[in-house]
Amino acid sequence: MVIIMLGAQGTGKGTVAGLISEQTKLPQISTGDIFRLNISEKTELGIEADKYISQGNLVPDEITVPMVANRLQEKDAEDGAILDGFPRTIEQAKSLDEILKKSGKKVNLVINLSTPREEIIDRMLTRRICSNPECKLIYNTKLHPPKVEGICDRCGAPLKQREDDLDPVVINKRLETYETQTAPLVEYYKEKGVLRTETVSMSINRMGKDVAEDIINNVLKK
């Protein structure tokens, strides 16, 4: 099974994907993690990707798509995967369809998370992530704080804040980029009949863990 997580930054994609991954044993694949791994290992694609990332630019499809294709060929993804951060554009979605078709797979479910903008900004400013690359558990100093401030409950590693989570102006710019580039994917997957949109918001007392439990119990176990 191939699951795609859609939604702007701060909507809880990582949380939902992580919980579903634990239950299904499907690997949670993040393009950010793929970039960091290839850069650290100094692969040919990683060296090229770093040229764009270091300047704050988006990595072009001719680099991103092959990286994702290579990751999907690894053994732990032979039964499928949960993609977080890819595809970001219609062009990438079409490339993914071709990649999956070659191995007899297809996109089975697209989970689109929606959260009010002001809530997203506050959530990103208060988001903290485990610095251990083997853990990467996500916390929120307001909604889901660690038991010990600044320390991961699961592995004991220090928590960190992403550099792009520090400035509300930068966050707003990222949200605008998402709305123009990635939001059209909602219609693309809606037409394919695989889209499931979920609202994640404190205003309705429905958070990422609630969405994950609902999908696990009422969609994936059917």
Give catalytic residues, as residue numbers. 13, 88, 127, 162, 174
Phi, psi of 59 (to 5 degrees): -80, 130
User: 133-142 burial, b for 16+ CB within 10 Å, e for fewer?
Assistant: eeebbbbbee
Per DSSP bridges, beta strands 138-140 and 127-130 are: antiparallel
Write out the two tokens for 135: 């853990």
Cis before 87 (ω within 30)? yes
* Residue whose pair of structure tokens reads 């990751």 in the numeric block: 71
Contact 71, 77 (CB under 8 A): yes
CA distances from 182 to 11, 86, 139, 189 (A): 14, 10, 25, 12
CA quadruple 84, 188, 99, 221: dihedral sign: positive
Beta 107-114 vs 195-199: how paired, if at all?
Answer: parallel
Q: Sheet of 159-160: strands edge to edge? A: 138-140, 127-130, 159-160
Cα separation, 71 vs 67, whole angstroms: 6
